[in-house]
Amino acid sequence: MLNKLEVGLPLVSVVIPSFNHAAFVAECIESVMAQDYARIELVVIDDGSSDHSVRVIESLVSGCEARFERFAFWHQANAGVAATLNAGLAWCRGEFVCPIASDDVMLPGKISRQVANFADCAPEVLALYGGEQVIGADGAVLRERDYPRCVYRFEDVLLRYSFLSAPSAMFRLAPLKAIGYQPGLVVEDWSMSLRLLENGGVFLNTGEVWVKKRLHDSNVSWQFEAIWDCSLTILARYRDHRLYSKALARVMVAQAFYYFRTNRREALRWLWRAWRVDVGVVWDRRLLWSAYLRFFR
């Protein structure tokens, strides 16, 4: 039962798309249940898992119904992350929304701190991001990324200067619901961010560490060629933009860093390709700093 002070708080929606994360999804849901913010609604959607994810989620349903202002869970034939997120957004009624993958974890106080931060933000701030603890499949902390406090505009995201930890995000629901996620992309977050910022909004990274982001063998981040193909599809929307060539070169640099630990020769090939597109890319200190923080810190 909400008290008088809690009734006046904005409702926060949380969307968890789940796919074959039976080993992780309970920890994700329980981290939302443990938040100290009262007004939360949660929707969990299983996207055609072939493991026992559904049974794990079903074991938590009664606790979720007691904890949250609204709660829903359903499972469906596999539709992909973007379509699943869009289905979740359509269900939501909150002022703000936190999408989080079912293998990631919210740290205590995440939602309450973000709502407090949003209270001090101008309407043009469409999303808040923070830092992250990177954890392995066993939950051990591998490193911490406490990104610097910074405001990001469309050009910053297009040129890969931004530090956007996906599980840390809290969005204003209405603008995100209006554009949705683009189906068929393995890096749907980058496409969504660019389209959300096209008309002048900004993102704020507060630098506070709010989540645990899990790395394991099935992460999309290891699918290097799929990420490249998807990035080209996303950039095609901006082919006539004055920064298109620079953006293309910076995607190539990102590919180089993806390969750096596993195939140095392939990494150098991508750097050469980037230099041929934009000779200034190798001297771009802001890009190199952001790449260092993203890939090596």
The pLDDT assigned to 219 comes to 56
- Please give the torsion angle defined by the CA atoms of residues 187, 86, 159 and 239, in that order, rounded to the nearest 10 degrees: 90
Q: What is the mean pLDDT of residues 23-31?
A: 98
Band (22; pLDDT cuts 50, 70, 90): very high
Q: Are 211 and 100 in contact (CB under 8 A)?
A: yes
Top pLDDT among 38 and 254 is at 38
Band (pLDDT 50/70/90 cuts) for residue 2 is: low
Task: Report pTM.
Answer: 0.92
First-last CA distance in the chain = 43
Asked if residues 211 and 130 have their Cβ atoms less than 8 Å apart, the reply is yes
Q: What is the mean pLDDT of residues 70-98?
A: 97
Nearest Cα neighbor of 112 from 100, 98, 132 is 98
Count of C-beta atoms within a 10 Å radius of residue 136: 11
Distance CA 131, CA 170 (A): 13
- Would the pLDDT of 189 be above 60? yes
Q: Which of 291, 136, 111, 107 is closest to 209 using CA atoms?
A: 107
Q: Which whole number is the average pLDDT over 236-250?
A: 96
The three-class DSSP label of residue 70 is strand
Give the least confident one: 37-41, 170-174, 279-283. 279-283
Three-state DSSP state, 116:
helix
Q: Which residues contact 122 (CB under 8 A, 6 or more apart)?
A: none
17/105 Cα distance (integer angstroms): 13
pLDDT of the residue at 55: 98
| For range 204-227, the mean pLDDT | 83
**Residue 138 pLDDT class (50, 70, 90 cuts):** very high
pLDDT confidence tier of residue 258, bands split at 50, 70 and 90: confident
